[in-house]
Amino acid sequence: MSAPIALSYQAFEDWAVIWLPIIFMALIAVVLVYMLRFMPRTKPQEIKPQSSDSISWDDVAGVEEAKDELREVVEFLRDPKRFKKLGAKVPKGILLHGPPGTGKTLLAKAVAHESNAQFFAQSASSFVEMFAGLGAARIRRLFRIARKQAPAIVFIDELDAVGATRGNDVSGEKDQTLNQLLVELDGFGGGDDLVVIAASNLLDKLDPALLRPGRFDRQIFVSPPDLKGRQQILRVHTRHKPLRDDVDLGLISRQTSGLTGADLANLCNEAAIFAGRERRDVLLTQDFQAALERVVAGMQSRRVITDHEKRLVAYHEAGHALCSELLPSVEKVHRISIIPRGRALGYTLNLPEEDRYLKTKEELLDYLVVLLGGRVTEHLVFGQITTGASDDLKKVHEISRSMVTDYGMGTELQSKQLPAADYSMADATRRRIDEEQQFITDHAHRRALKLVSGHRSLLEAFAATLLNSEVLERGDIERLVAEHEGVQPSPSRLEPLNAGGTGKPRIAAVEGTEPAGPARDPSGA
């Protein structure tokens, strides 16, 4: 009986050697056929001109320099023969770069509308696919269709999604897509009335090949609007909104320093929502004030805080306000609130008298004093420090670090810029940076402590009024200061120090340090 069994095992083994690989390959083929036939496929994206929403130059405000640059493109697309007779060529590519919300997309739509050109808009992220080569094919198809319908404008939003520096893409898809875009930009014919407008928030991350002449010939920085620009934007977004006669858009524009066009559009919409919620037929100044608090500080919170926490917040914000009023180089306080909004339990809103683009060392050190004024007040009044100053301390660290490493505002390291996180830096240099940063913050802390302790009566008046009414406007602050006749603005430097700084945020919010050690003058005097 053993021989037949041995023969059967031998036969099975011979059969398995021959047929099992064939069966395995057949199963793989069946799975592949199933995937190709029944799995959803990526359909070619429909590419057709989009509406520019009838956006004209009048609908784009606060970016006059960018509009002036783009008007030449509009003139060329309207009458190309006039320029071609002179041998002029339209810029092949225009790169709009700047912070989010400054109006880059609106500018592209306005150029298309004003020039009567077809408008093809695509997000760069839509070109990137899992399979290599699909993104490049989409770009070829987009430009082929756009050329057929010239004059046309191809708008590529968020260019950095596909135009980042090559060499970091493991799959190769982004690099292939970018290469195809470079080819299309170089492949424009002389008769093509086609302009590519791209937008990006991260200019420094784009591949250098994109930025050379012949591809994106023009790079236009779209900056946040200045005071006049903000007022123009507010006029545009309130054009069809019923405003009461006493609504002062100039004052609102002063209160919105640092806001972009998108922020201002949201502000006007929030004001209309507040007015509708109150069932009014017109928008009042108080609607814009409520909207500004909503946009800048967040939605009013329903958190219930204890009486002790409320007193802490009141004194913390009073400390910020006191230092702001006493330091001449700091923007004066427009509003103080201890009503919780968003993550903040309270805030102090400062308004600049004018738009500023440069800050001196004195102004920056004064701002550090204002930031530390809240925590110093907590420690002085209650004998304890809380977690409420975490955001203030973060800003103090960032500003003081930048003063030493970026702006050359240290006491001994004044003539060179030092990277804040350079691991090749010598240990001695790194220690010196830390020491100078600590000197600056300690000096600001001592000044804040001297201001708060030297004007205790005004501090108590601020805090008591806040606890009673929860909100102090500019008029209330001026009245309290006037009642304390002995209060005079403090000199910018209480101790010898070469001061310095960065831009001042709009709000100092509650989110103290221990008294500093012996005075040490970082100036070396």
Q: Given 1.10.8.60, 1.20.1050.10, 3.40.50.720, 3.40.50.300, which CATH number is that of 227-296?
A: 1.10.8.60
Q: Which residue has the higher pLDDT, 444 or 118?
A: 444
95's CB contacts (< 8 A; 6+ apart) are 159, 197, 198, 199, 200, 203, 206, 210, 211, 216, 218, 219, 220
Task: Give the strand pairing for 194-200 and 152-157.
Answer: parallel
If phi over 0 gives left and psi between -120 and 50 gives alpha, with beta otherwise, what is residue 17? alpha
pLDDT given at position 490: 45
For the entire predicted model, the pTM comes to: 0.70
Supply 405's token pair.
């490493």
pLDDT given at position 42: 47
pLDDT surpassing 50 at residue 505 = no
The top-level CATH class assigned to 57-221 is: alpha beta
For 155-213, write each residue's pLDDT tens digit.
988 888 887 777 665 456 677 888 888 888 875 554 557 888 999 888 888 888 888 87
42-67 mean pLDDT: 72
pLDDT given at position 296: 74
pLDDT surpassing 50 at residue 520 = no
Q: Which residue has the higher pLDDT, 255 or 279?
A: 279
- My answer on whether omega of the bond before 151 falls inside 30° of 0, hence cis, is yes
Question: Residue 242's pLDDT band (boundaries 50, 70, 90)?
Answer: very high
Query: Would you give the distance in Å from CA 267 to the centre of its chain?
Result: 17
β-bridge mates for residue 122, sequence order: 156
φ, ψ of residue 47 in degrees (nearest 5): -115, 115
| Domain 307-509 indexed as CATH 1.10.10.60 | no
Q: What's the rounded Cα separation, in Å, for the pair 489 and 404?
A: 28
pLDDT given at position 523: 33
* CA torsion through residues 392, 484, 477, 465, sign: positive
70's CB contacts (< 8 A; 6+ apart) are 94, 107, 110, 111, 220
Q: How many residues does the chain have?
A: 525
Please state, for a pLDDT cut of 90, what percent of the chain lies above it.
22
For 410-466, write each residue's pLDDT tens digit.
776 655 555 555 556 778 888 888 888 999 999 999 999 999 999 999 999 999 999
pLDDT surpassing 60 at residue 522 = no
Supply 423's token pair.
């691991």
pLDDT surpassing 50 at residue 498 = no
φ, ψ of residue 424 in degrees (nearest 5): -85, -5
pLDDT given at position 493: 34
pLDDT surpassing 70 at residue 94 = yes
pLDDT surpassing 60 at residue 54 = yes
pLDDT given at position 499: 32
pLDDT surpassing 80 at residue 90 = no
pLDDT given at position 50: 60
Question: Residue 45's pLDDT band (boundaries 50, 70, 90)?
Answer: low
pLDDT given at position 148: 85
Catalytic residues: 317
For 367-385, write each residue's pLDDT tens digit.
999 999 999 999 999 998 8
- Domain residue spans in the chain? 1-41, 57-221, 227-296, 307-509
The mean pLDDT value of the chain amounts to 79
Q: Which residue has the higher pLDDT, 417 or 396?
A: 396
Q: Which residue has the higher pLDDT, 55 or 492?
A: 55
pLDDT given at position 453: 93
pLDDT surpassing 70 at residue 501 = no
Judge whether 249 and 238 are in contact, CB under 8 Å: yes
For 328-354, write each residue's pLDDT tens digit.
888 888 889 888 877 778 888 887 767
Judge whether 199 and 108 are in contact, CB under 8 Å: yes
